[in-house]
Structure 1
Amino acid sequence: MSVGESGHGGGPAAPVFAPDPVGLAHLEAILSGAYPLAGFMTAAEAASVAGHGRLPDGTPWPVPVTLAVPAGLADAARLVLTDPEGAPLAELTVSERWWSGPGGPGTEGSSGEESAGPGTPDPHGALDRRGPADGHGGPGHRLAGEVRFIRPSMYGSLRHLRRVPADVRARREAGGAPDRPLLAVVTGRPLHHRALHQIRAAADRIGGGRRAEVLVIIDAPFDGEGMAPAILAAEPLLPARTRFAVATLPPADPALPEDRADLLAAHVARSYGATHVLIDRDPDARSAPAPAGPPIPVLHPGDWRYDTGEELWLPAERVDPAHARTEPGDAEVEESLALGRELPAWFTPARVAAELARLRPARTRRGLTVFFTGLSGSGKSTVARGVSEAVRRSGRTVTLLDGDVVRRMLSSGLTFSRADRDLNIRRIGFVAAEITRHGGVAICAPIAPYAVTRAEVRAMVEDAGDFFLVHVATPLEVCEARDRKGLYAKARAGEIPEFTGVSDPYEEPTDADLVLHTEGRSVAESVAEAVAALRTGGWLPTDRP
């Protein structure tokens, strides 16, 4: 996210702002026509949608569409919205400024008039807004208002497939069969044999004697291809004249009812001209309830099994249990790929398997970030150096990003305020993600005391490869007793403000892949434990010391 100024639209220069990934996904959907909305929602609209699945005027809509901005832009009257590279996309005319979350200042219209604040019931009287009213992003400032298109976006992966819904509808009409049903398949997963059989069966069922046309809407991130290449690899096995389009849908918000993600997919599919929608899911995922009041029918093909006798995928009720095989879930597939195992032919087409093997190579060839976190004096830098040497001996390319070295070389000039410490960790995460993207191993050893910033780094890296979090869980009193730099003594004396563990908190990880207890152990023992975990996980070869 970035902030600047621009003179677009005439008059005084408007601030320039690059929305976060959720805001950018909403913005592109608004501008493309995938959402039937003119802009970002007000507090009342967001609260009504979150609570009831409809706007205050009664129009059904499943998810709040809001724009989170930093405090420095909360009073803006206009805002030029850009992509992450700074190219202007749209201008927002602010109609309302509001706060999402507990304890906030309430909402203000563009005139400064107070509107409903946190804890105030929404217009329908059912939603008590003591928590985030809009989902996604938690507490923070929001701006509402209409957006004016400036120029088409050139940012994002697979731009040639990011077709405007109106263009998809027009091409279909020009193709000569606009009255034939159109089945939209919304997926971010590869299409394995089970899904391909279900798609063909659904297209036949709704076609009324003629197979319905098929549009595959690929949900892919802006900054990477995701699983799109593996999805496209299945094209020869899909019905003839199947079309593809790429869109970026915001992630499902756990604060909203479970059916809202399916409802959003149905609304987006309808914008492309679909008459029915089928949503492909991980077979291990919990089944979401059938969405209430979808704009087009949402098809649920039910449970299917592979019949080893017939060598076909069929509805489960038609398969003898003695001959039934269940599709492996995404986690099992990922583990097979990570360990370099071939995916079975009964499960997925050879073209899809080959593309998956390219996208998700065995972990010994996959980029990795090993991220050590712990208090100052915990021993994380020493252990990280030992692990770095072991990784190098295994034959892998490794880069060590030690906290103190990064401070001197990458983050010189930053203070130790929370904002600057977070920025320092994000910089480390960015460099580590680029190393990971190119197949290397990045080993990082900052304190990284805040859970939210560590989560940002994990997400950043996992877009490029694998992330392994190590919590060096040395007790504070042990760290303070070591204190070879005298930092704790200075912090206790008040010479170092906001010192982690003394005057500022350390948020212990709850998502660590490995917890190292260094108290009473040698450095060699801690290094050996970390290296063994990496070798067991498949990131280091087993045939080297």
Structure 2
Amino acid sequence: MSVGRGHSDDGGDGGAGAPVFAPDPVGLAHLELILSGGYPLPGFMTSAEAAAVAAGGRLPDGTPWPVPVTLAVPDDLAGADRVVLTDPEGAPLAELRVSERWSAEPGPPAGPGAAPDRPATRLAGEVRFIRPSMYGTLRHLRLAPAEARGQREISGFADRPLLAVVTARPLHHRALHQVRAAAEELGAEVLVLIDAPFDDEGMAPAVLAAEPLLPPRTRFVVATLPPAAACGDAPLPGDRADLLAAHVARSYGATHVLLDRDPAAGPPAPLDGAPVPVLRPEPWRYDTAEGLWRPADQVPDDRSAAEPGDAEVEEELALGRDLPAWFTPARVAAELARLRPARTRRGLVVLFTGLSGSGKSTVARGVAEGVRRSGRTVTLLDGDVVRRMLSAGLTFSRADRDLNVRRIGYVAAEIARHGGVAVCAPIAPYAAVRAEVRAMAREAGGDFFLVHVATPLEVCEARDRKGLYAKARAGEIPAFTGVSDPYEEPDDAELVLRTEDRAVKESVAETLAALRAGGWLPADRT
């Protein structure tokens, strides 16, 4: 694959007659970066190119490139010669002229909410521009690299070095000190490249809140960088994400790159072969006596405070606590508090899963009532009721059962998006679709709490007030969960309830107590 921009075909027919396909989140991120010039590639890689990149970080012609850029498609597109690629809303973005179709091992998840395994079929070939994308949040900041470089040339500072700060997390005091110090040492202008998802602002507002504390004339752009872990069909070396960020930053004119990472993640992987120098600032710590951030080797241990990691910050916000002023600027703290409100004000999806007759619906009703008494807005999505209303017409095949749970998950995530609590009680027998619902809730800005009602099969069958198990044993109900179809017990449940030897009210109380302990319900109300 030769290096160059995605091909423009403004006078074309827009792919008339070609099949239409909306790429998964990884494919969409690749596509936008190809079309914008963020990648110096004309399209999606062949099997030989992808294999060479995965193995050695280089294309077959020796050009350095960190991650495979491939397009996973359903098997029914394997025979297509052309495919129109659209955004998730169906707007055409580009036409793929297929040069190779090949198979891979089912890839890793494409991102939150995606199926656990990506399709095995890959299509390679050049992409031809149809129209600019209008999809995605913060579209006004999603400048193509050529636009950003042009703005810099107009400003009159294009002859100075450009330090690109690539981040998906807020810039706290430590990072701001390091950026200012690096920019001063280099005599550089600063470009903050915010890695944000398409369908959510992510932490971008909190990054933007730090603008007054950054060097003068700092510019901001937004791009969606695909996670390196989801780019290959096998695990990639740990440095590939940083290398990809450096390549994209270079397309914006960066002469140096600073990557802001979670301090709790440990030291970064060694980085060789970056297209521009990647700065690795020495660790900094807060000097409690002087009230200043300094390089760690200049701060005595007895007056040294480390920066909290992202998980610790998330927990403080979840519990409604103020972030300390020594750690982050007030403007950033205020934006974080808005983005991640305390759990008592945050949307929540509580998903009960268990066999038919386990008692999950009865417990869910009691929990929903308890949540309502606590003062929170709550919606109960019971499996049987949803089947009659939202999912009428679906069968009990695995595909339709998964679709039923996805529909419940979608509705529940929308409830959580607006700050409500959704209590759901489907059987949800399969781990993969439960993981999808968890991801949907989190993508919507809410939280997810999985309750496994672990009532043994023999107890559920003894209860059998609907006579379903008897019909399943008689062969009248095919693919019945627990009898002729599997139930995949969760290993990621936040709470496991044993209902066989206890009253319903005890299970309800245990669940409400767990929600209060986690901060989702006020501690002093039931």
TM-score, normalising length from structure 1?
0.90
Q: Which residue of 2 aligns with 1:380?
A: 360
1:498 aligned partner, one-letter code:
A
Aligned-partner Cα distance in 1 for 2:172–2:280: 17
**1:297 and 2:277 matched:** yes
Say whether the 8 Å CA contact 1:203–1:214 is kept in structure 2.
Answer: yes
2:64 aligned partner, one-letter code:
P
Q: Which residue of 1 aligns with 2:504?
A: 523
Say whether the 8 Å CA contact 1:24–1:83 is kept in structure 2.
Answer: yes
Say whether the 8 Å CA contact 1:47–1:134 is kept in structure 2.
Answer: no
Q: Detail structure 1 runs of 4+ shifted over 3 Å in the superposition.
A: 131-139
- Map 1:209-358 to 2 at 5 A: 211-253=187-229, 255-358=235-338
Q: Which is bigger in relative contact order (C-alpha 8 A, separation at least 6)?
A: 2
1:497 aligned partner, one-letter code:
P
Residues 1:438 and 1:45: Cα distance change in structure 2 (over 3 Å): same
Q: Please, which of 464, 467, 472 is the counterpart of residue 453 of structure 2?
A: 472
Q: Which residue of 2 aligns with 1:46?
A: 50
Say whether the 8 Å CA contact 1:100–1:134 is kept in structure 2.
Answer: no
Q: Please, which of 474, 478, 481 is the counterpart of residue 462 of structure 2?
A: 481
* Stretch of structure 1 that moved more, 229-238 or 458-467: 458-467
**1:495 and 2:499 matched:** no
Q: Please, which of 92, 98, 103 is the counterpart of residue 94 of structure 1?
A: 98
Q: Secondary structure at the match of 1:474?
A: coil
* Partner deviation per Cα, 1:250-286 (whole Å, 9 max, x = no partner): 1230721111100100011001000111111111113
Q: Which residue of 2 aligns with 1:68?
A: 72
Q: Secondary structure at the match of 2:228?
A: coil
* Partner deviation per Cα, 1:493-526 (whole Å, 9 max, x = no partner): 2222222222222222122111112221111111
Aligned-partner Cα distance in 2 for 1:194–1:418: 50
Q: Which runs of 5+ in 2 are unaligned?
A: 1-11
Aligned-partner Cα distance in 2 for 1:460–1:134: 13
Aligned-partner Cα distance in 2 for 1:73–1:163: 32
Aligned-partner Cα distance in 2 for 1:379–1:10: 54
- Provide the aligned C-alpha RMSD in A: 1.8
* Stretch of structure 1 that moved more, 420-429 or 260-269: 420-429
Say whether the 8 Å CA contact 2:43–2:125 is kept in structure 1.
Answer: yes
**1:410 and 2:390 matched:** yes
Q: Please, which of 161, 170, 186 is the counterpart of residue 181 of structure 1?
A: 161
Q: Secondary structure at the match of 2:281?
A: coil
1:354 aligned partner, one-letter code:
A
2:84 aligned partner, one-letter code:
V
Q: Which residue of 2 aligns with 1:438?
A: 418
In the TM superposition, what is the alpha-carbon distance from 1:137 to its structure 2 partner?
4.4
In the TM superposition, what is the alpha-carbon distance from 1:302 to its structure 2 partner?
2.1
In the TM superposition, what is the alpha-carbon distance from 1:415 to its structure 2 partner?
1.4
Say whether the 8 Å CA contact 2:25–2:110 is kept in structure 1.
Answer: no
Q: Which residue of 2 aligns with 1:172?
A: 152
* Partner deviation per Cα, 1:413-457 (whole Å, 9 max, x = no partner): 111112111111111111111100000001111111222211111
* Stretch of structure 1 that moved more, 72-81 or 136-145: 136-145
Q: Which residue of 2 aligns with 1:158?
A: 138
Aligned-partner Cα distance in 2 for 1:223–1:42: 29
Q: Secondary structure at the match of 2:391?
A: coil
Residues 1:323 and 1:401: Cα distance change in structure 2 (over 3 Å): same
Q: Secondary structure at the match of 2:68?
A: coil
Say whether the 8 Å CA contact 2:193–2:220 is kept in structure 1.
Answer: yes
Say whether the 8 Å CA contact 2:108–2:118 is kept in structure 1.
Answer: yes
Q: Which runs of 5+ in 1 are unaligned?
A: 1-7, 103-130
Residues 1:434 and 1:540: Cα distance change in structure 2 (over 3 Å): same
Aligned-partner Cα distance in 2 for 1:133–1:518: 34
In the TM superposition, what is the alpha-carbon distance from 1:529 to its structure 2 partner?
0.8
Q: How many residues align structurally?
A: 506
In the TM superposition, what is the alpha-carbon distance from 1:542 to its structure 2 partner?
1.2
